[in-house]
Amino acid sequence: DQVDDVSRARALTTADHRRHPPKAANSATEDPMTQTPTAPPARKPAARAARKPRGEGQWALGYREPLNPNEQSKKDDNPLNVRARIENIYAHRGFASIDPGDLRGRFRWYGLYTQRKPGIDGGKTATLEPHELDDEYFMLRVRIDGGALTTEQLHVIGQISVEFARNTADITDRQNIQLHWIRVEDVPEIWRRLEAVGLSTTEACGDCPRVILGSPVAGIAADEIIDPTNAIRAIVDRYIGDPQFSNLPRKFKTAITGHPLQDVVPEINDVAFVGVVHPELGPGFDLWVGGGLSTNPMLAQRLGTWVAEEDVAEVWAGVCAIFRDYGYRRLRSRARIKFLIADWGPEKFREVLETKYLQRKLPDGPAPETPARPGDHVGVNLQKDGNYFIGLSPIAGRTGGQALIDLAELAEAHGSFRLRATPMQKILVLDVAKERVDSLVAGAEQLGLSARPRAWRRSVMACTGIEFCKLAIVETKAQAARVVNELEQRLGELDTPITVNLNGCPNSCARIQVADIGLKGQLVPGPNGDQVEGYQVHLGGGLGLDAGFGRKLRGHKVTADELPDYVERVAKNFLAERNDGERFAQ
Ligand code: SF4
C-alpha cells in the first residue's frame, strides 16, 4: 500500500537529517565490507540456524550470478557494445533484424526506447506482451548535462527533429530533449550530427549514470554560492560511457547545484551535490544520497560532509561504485540506491565511502539553507555580468523541432548564443542585453514559449504518457494543456503557485509525489460504471521547505474529463481557506 510506503519514507527521511547531519562514523566500528547490508535483526540461535539470510545480489558480497533477466542481459554483453551493432547491422537491415535483447534492453544505453504502437488503449498496457506494444519507431533521448546548450546545438537538435522525428521535441524534467518517430536506419546519421556539435545520447537511459542535472543558471546568477560547471564537466568527461559504471543495479541519477534555490530537485536524486559555504573551507558542496520516487519514495539524506569543487568527480565515482558493488540486484523494485541507504543509514554509507573507496576522511560540513521551494528561473532575470537571462515556459515541456530552430535563431538575432534546459521542463536564453529583452520575449511568445506565463502554465508538468510510452495507461501532455487553458480562463492568475503534475502510469517520471496536486494515471470508474481514463490523486507533496510526499487520498480518483473541474475545486477551496502566507503543501 503506497500510503504505508509514504509514511515509512517520511519516517526515514524527514528534515531532521538536514538539521542534524550525521557525524563521520567512528573508524573503530566493524568493517562494513564484511557485513551483509540487509542483515536481519539478531534472532535466537535456533531460529538463526534455521534461516540463512538471502542475498540481494550484491556483487561485493559474492553474488555475481545474475538473479533476473535484466542482470543476465547485462552480463551476457556490456550494453555499451550495442552501438557497433546498431551502426554495422541494424541500421542497414532494419527493425526486423534487431535482437530482442538489444531492442528492449541494451538500446537504452544509447537513449533509445521503442515507442508505443498508436491506437492501443491504456487498458491493454498490462495485458499485452511487450512485442505487441512495440512500434517500429523509437523515442530518442538526447542527454544535455547541466541543461547547457549552444544555439548551434539547439539548431542541430531542431533540424534532426524536423528531418527524422516528425517535428517532435519535448523538454524533459531531467534537462534532456526527447524526440519520437526515430527509425533505426537513421540513428547513425543522427549520432553523427549530434556528436559533431558535442552532444550525445550515450547512457541517456539504462542501468547507468543518466544525464547530470545541473543548475540552469550555473556561472551566471549573481546570488550563486558556487558554479557547478567544472564539476559536471569532470564527471561527464571521466565517467560517462566508462564500462566500469555501465552495469549498475539500476538507473543512477545525479544533481549538482550551487544556487540557493536548489534548482535541480536534489532531494529526489540518487546522489546530489548542493552548494554550501563552509565556515573555514569556503564554498563547496553538501553531499546527499538516496533520493528517488516511484514505489517507496524517499528523500535523499545528508552524509554530513563538505566536498570541494575539485573533489566532486572523485566523490561521485565513489558513491556510484558503492551502488555498483553493494546495490541490490535481485529485485528491480529494490535496485535503487535509496534502499541501500535506508538499510545502512548515512553514517555507515559515509564510512564505507571514506574508508574503502576514497581512502581518506572528508571534512564535516554545514547544511545548506533550505529554500521555500525550488527555483524555476522563469521570467526576465538579471545576470551577474549585467545582461539578462530569460526563462521561457512551454506547456509541460512540449515544443517542436521547428520551434527549437526558430528559438536558436531568435536568440542569435538578439546576441545570445547560450541556452539552458531546466528540470522544470522550461528553457532559458542567456546573455541578452537589456535593450533587447522585450523584443526577445515577444518573439519567444510567437513560438509558444512564454516568459510571463500565468501560474498554471508555469507550474504544470507532465510525463510522456500514452501518446508514446509503452507503460502508460492514460494521456498526459494534451491533458496538461487542457487543464492549463481551462484554469487560466476560469481562475485567471494565482498569487501563489500550485503545482500540478501528471503521470501516465504508477511510475513517477513527472514527480507526482512532490507536487501540490499529483495525478497518477490509471483507469477509474466512469459515469456509466465503465472504466475510463483518469487519475489517482495525491495532495500536498513538495520540495524545499515542504519536502515530503503527497498523501494518496483513498477513493480520491478523478476521470480525465472531470480533471479541470476537480483542480478548480481544490484550488478554490485552498484559496478560500488558507491562512496568511500559507503554502498549499503546509
Ligand atoms: Fe511512461 Fe509512466 Fe514514465 Fe509516464 S510515468 S513516461 S507513462 S513510464
Note the pLDDT tens digit of each residue in 138-174: 999 999 999 999 999 999 999 999 999 999 999 999 9
What is the enclosing helix (H) or strand (E) of 431? strand 427-432
Contact 202, 106 (CB under 8 A): no
* Ligand 1 centroid distance, CA of 461 (Å): 12
User: Angle of helix 151-164 relative to helix 187-196, nearest 10 degrees?
Assistant: 170
* Ligand 1 centroid distance, CA of 477 (Å): 11
* Ligand 1 centroid distance, CA of 41 (Å): 37
Atom number, ligand 1, closest to the C-alpha of residue 508: 5
Q: What is the pTM of this model?
A: 0.90
**pLDDT at residue 201 in the model:** 98
* Distance in angstroms (rounded) separating the CA atoms of residues 143 and 153: 12
| CB-ligand 1 contact for 25 (6 Å cutoff) | no
**pLDDT at residue 580 in the model:** 82
DSSP-derived secondary structure for 364-404: B-PPPPPPSS-----EEEEBTTS-EEEEEB-BTTEEEHHHH
User: Which among 470, 476, 505, 523 is the best mutation to test ligand 1's pocket, defined by most ligand atoms within 8 Å of the CB?
Assistant: 505
Q: What three-state secondary structure class fits 212? A: strand
* Ligand 1 centroid distance, CA of 17 (Å): 31
DSSP-derived secondary structure for 460-493: EEE--GGGT-TT-SS--HHHHHHHHHHHHHHH--
CA 544 to chain centre: 16
User: Which residue in 288, 292, 321 sits closest to 303, CA to CA?
Assistant: 288
Atom number, ligand 1, closest to the C-alpha of residue 521: 7
**pLDDT at residue 583 in the model:** 82
| CB-ligand 1 contact for 505 (6 Å cutoff) | yes
User: ∠187-191-193 over CA atoms, to 5°?
Assistant: 120
Contact 317, 338 (CB under 8 A): no
| CB-ligand 1 contact for 501 (6 Å cutoff) | no
| CB-ligand 1 contact for 522 (6 Å cutoff) | no
* Ligand 1 centroid distance, CA of 520 (Å): 10
* Distance in angstroms (rounded) separating the CA atoms of residues 169 and 179: 5
75-to-66, 86, 217 alpha-carbon distances in Å: 7, 19, 40
What torsion, rounded to 10 degrees, do the Cα atoms 201, 202, 206, 212 define? -80
What is the interface pTM, i.e. ipTM, of the complex?
0.99
551 has which bridge partners? 539
Atom number, ligand 1, closest to the C-alpha of residue 474: 7
Which residues of the chain are under the pLDDT cut of 70? 1-53
* Distance in angstroms (rounded) separating the CA atoms of residues 390 and 377: 8
Strand 460-462 versus strand 500-503 pairing type: parallel
* Distance in angstroms (rounded) separating the CA atoms of residues 184 and 136: 8
| CB-ligand 1 contact for 463 (6 Å cutoff) | yes
| CB-ligand 1 contact for 472 (6 Å cutoff) | yes
Radius of gyration of the chain (CA): 23
User: Which among 133, 171, 471 is the best mutation to test ligand 1's pocket, defined by most ligand atoms within 8 Å of the CB?
Assistant: 471
* Distance in angstroms (rounded) separating the CA atoms of residues 330 and 500: 35
| CB-ligand 1 contact for 341 (6 Å cutoff) | no
Atom number, ligand 1, closest to the C-alpha of residue 476: 4
252 has which bridge partners? 209
Q: How many helices (H) and strands (E) does the chain have?
A: 18, 20
Tens-place pLDDT, residues 404-422 = 999 999 999 999 999 999 9
DSSP conformation class of 389: E
Atom number, ligand 1, closest to the C-alpha of residue 466: 7
| CB-ligand 1 contact for 471 (6 Å cutoff) | yes
* Ligand 1 centroid distance, CA of 396 (Å): 14
* Ligand 1 centroid distance, CA of 285 (Å): 32
| CB-ligand 1 contact for 542 (6 Å cutoff) | no
Atom number, ligand 1, closest to the C-alpha of residue 473: 7
* Strand arrangement, sheet containing 551-559: 460-462, 500-503, 517-525, 531-539, 551-559
Contact 260, 371 (CB under 8 A): yes
Contact 383, 443 (CB under 8 A): no
* Distance in angstroms (rounded) separating the CA atoms of residues 421 and 208: 22
Contact 311, 304 (CB under 8 A): no
475-to-224, 322, 467, 470 alpha-carbon distances in Å: 38, 38, 6, 12
What is the enclosing helix (H) or strand (E) of 581? none
User: Which residue in 11, 22, 1 sits closest to 299, CA to CA?
Assistant: 11
Neighbours of 481 (CB within 10 A): 17
Residue whose cell numbers read 494534451: 478
248-to-82, 260, 299, 305 alpha-carbon distances in Å: 17, 31, 21, 24
**pLDDT at residue 58 in the model:** 96
| CB-ligand 1 contact for 464 (6 Å cutoff) | yes
* Distance in angstroms (rounded) separating the CA atoms of residues 583 and 562: 25
Q: What three-state secondary structure class fits 557? A: strand
Taken in order 89, 92, 97, 100, is the CA torsion positive or negative? Answer: positive
* Ligand 1 centroid distance, CA of 478 (Å): 14
| CB-ligand 1 contact for 294 (6 Å cutoff) | no
For residue 293 the three cell numbers come to 520516487
| CB-ligand 1 contact for 485 (6 Å cutoff) | no
| CB-ligand 1 contact for 122 (6 Å cutoff) | no
* Ligand 1 centroid distance, CA of 44 (Å): 45
Burial 455-469 (b: 16+ CB within 10 A, else e): bbbbbbbbbbbbbbb
For residue 575 the three cell numbers come to 484559496
* Ligand 1 centroid distance, CA of 488 (Å): 26
* Ligand 1 centroid distance, CA of 449 (Å): 24
Burial 522-538 (b: 16+ CB within 10 A, else e): bbbeeeeeeebbbbbbb
